[in-house]
Amino acid sequence: MSAEASVSDMGAMAGMASWDDVRAANPHLAARGRALLERTGAGEGLLTTVAGDALPRTHPVNVGIADGRLLAFVQAGSAKARDLSTDGRYALHAHQDPAVPHEFLLRGRAVPVTDATARSRAVEAWPFSADDSYDLYELQIAHALFGERGDADAWPPHYTSWRAPAAVAER
């Protein structure tokens, strides 16, 4: 993916979906996944990125949902920003609650959000001050996975999975 491609001029990439698409297709999975992402009051998770043939990197990240899209502000110039702008592939895993260790994982492609109005709405809703030193990305979703465990000793988890249909790209 080229660094010039963005949500504001491309729409959803082939085989990718917005958060609202996931919510519309599987409201239960989306609600439970969002609850895990936001369990501390702010959207948090571990974001794994890749760039070309380099080894994957995992970074803590704050995420949020605004205008039906899963978003992340990323410090410009960071390894995370370089990976997202040059490759875009990501995996996002919500932090687990040790008492009830459900799992939530998303995989897809991140695309820069360059629309000034969309950025302003995201900044207003963000839990920290996101100034111009942060780039905004939409985490478009190809696959969502929720693993449910009754307690810390329950194994294996019961998994619910959702994949973006190819038709989502034809909006």
Taken in order of first residue, the domains within the chain and their CATH numbers are 7-149+157-170 (2.30.110.10)
pLDDT per residue as tens digits for the range 80-134: 999 999 999 999 999 988 888 999 999 999 999 999 999 999 998 887 788 889 9
Helix (H/G/I), strand (E/B), else coil: 157:
coil
Query: Which of 140, 145, 138 minimizes the C-alpha distance to 122?
Result: 138
Name the amino acid, one letter, at 49. T
Nearest residue to 41 via CA among 64, 18, 66, 22: 64
Helices (H), the chain: 7-10, 19-25, 27-37, 79-86, 116-125
42: pLDDT strictly greater than 90: no
pTM score, two decimals?
0.87
The confidence score (pLDDT) of residue 138 equals 98
